[in-house]
């Protein structure tokens, strides 16, 4: 199932994109129950927005075994967490705006997990019950400020620094998905979630032991090797097998 947020004639709603190309609004308590209306709108008549409005975005640092080995970095024994504010979120097709404070803004293609139910202190075995689905994400990073500041809040938090979407795909196994990033059509990052140091259930369990996860919260699962700089006029795409392709232009 593909779940997204859309606007039609100025009205914003969460809906399910059917195989017939029609977007059916969800009714009832989202995401507690996934019930669709018996009417819908053709996809080409709606605007596709970011697929959820997270209260918080929790991100994982180094989480690809191949990436750690590439840089000779020690494999962490626990996930390293940081956060991005909810105001970083933009939808597919919206522009990533390069801030004047930075000389190097990088893309980081990542698999995002979207939380379905309130979760606190859950086990890895229980985690799938609390996950709504998966969507492509770009953990946009001002690399020079990340190095300068010695911690990551400013570097990760500029407006537009968290493109998400287009859809949350439910009922898939996040364990062996190919994640690719293209800059202006050229492949820059290519790996598989099979290389994760901490798999999705482990991450959700670990984070839920720290903070209560709420419906619509997003977890960015970390990036692989090949991250690089974006400049004004670029087009960046994150493509995840069976999940979708997220495209955003870059402007100054
Ligand atoms: Mg990242």
- pTM metric for this prediction: 0.97
Q: d(Cα 78, Cα 60) in Å, to the nearest integer?
A: 10
Lowest mean pLDDT among 23-37, 117-131, 238-252: 23-37
Q: Comparing C-alpha atoms, which of 243, 241, 236, 240 is closest to residue 90?
A: 236
Q: What percentage of the chain carries pLDDT values higher than 90? A: 90
Q: Where does the pLDDT of residue 112 fall: very low under 50, low under 70, confident under 90, or very high at 90 and above?
A: very high
Q: Which two tokens stand for residue 29?
A: 């308590």
Give residue 63 CA to ligand 1 midpoint distance, Å.
Answer: 9
Give residue 128 CA to ligand 1 midpoint distance, Å.
Answer: 22
Given a contact cutoff of 8 angstroms between Cβ atoms, the answer to whether 224 and 191 are in contact is yes
Q: What percentage of the chain carries pLDDT values higher than 70? A: 100
Q: d(Cα 109, Cα 26) in Å, to the nearest integer?
A: 29
Given a contact cutoff of 8 angstroms between Cβ atoms, the answer to whether 14 and 29 are in contact is no
Averaged pLDDT for residues 157-170 = 98
Give residue 49 CA to ligand 1 midpoint distance, Å.
Answer: 22
Q: Which domains does the chain have, with CATH numbers?
A: 2-48 (2.30.30), 57-251 (3.90.850.10)
Give residue 30 CA to ligand 1 midpoint distance, Å.
Answer: 28
Give residue 82 CA to ligand 1 midpoint distance, Å.
Answer: 9
pLDDT of residue 50: 98
CB atoms within 10 A of CB 83: 16
Q: Comparing C-alpha atoms, which of 10, 2, 97, 84 is closest to residue 45?
A: 10
Give residue 107 CA to ligand 1 midpoint distance, Å.
Answer: 9
Give residue 20 CA to ligand 1 midpoint distance, Å.
Answer: 35
The model's pLDDT over 43-70, given as tens digits with 9 standing for 90+, comes to 999 999 999 999 999 999 989 987 777 7
């Amino acid at each position: 199932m593909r779940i997204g947020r859309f606007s039609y004639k100025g009205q914003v709603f969460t809906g399910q994109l059917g195989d017939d190309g029609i977007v059916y609004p969800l009714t009832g308590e989202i995401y507690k129950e996934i019930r669709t209306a018996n009417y819908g709108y053709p996809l080409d008549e709606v605007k596709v927005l970011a697929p959820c409005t997270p209260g918080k975005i929790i991100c994982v640092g180094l989480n690809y075994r191949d990436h750690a080995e590439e840089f000779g970095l020690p494999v962490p024994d626990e996930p390293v967490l940081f956060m991005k504010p909810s105001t970083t979120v933009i939808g597919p097709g919206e522009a990533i705006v390069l801030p004047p404070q930075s000389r190097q803004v990088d893309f980081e293609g990542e698999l995002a997990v979207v939380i379905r139910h309130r979760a606190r202190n859950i086990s890895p075995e229980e985690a799938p019950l609390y996950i709504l689905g998966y969507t492509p994400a770009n953990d946009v990073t001002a690399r020079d400020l990340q190095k300068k500041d010695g911690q990551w809040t400013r570097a990760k938090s500029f407006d537009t620094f968290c493109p998400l979407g287009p859809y949350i795909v439910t009922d898939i196994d996040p364990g062996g998905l190919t994640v690719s990033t293209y800059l202006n059509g050229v492949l820059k990052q290519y790996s598989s979630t099979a290389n994760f140091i901490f798999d999705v259930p482990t991450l959700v369990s670990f984070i839920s032991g720290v903070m209560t996860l709420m419906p619509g919260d997003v977890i960015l699962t970390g990036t692989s090797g090949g991250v690089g700089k974006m400049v004004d006029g670029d087009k960046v795409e994150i493509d995840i097998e069976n999940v979708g392709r997220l495209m955003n232009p870059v402007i100054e």
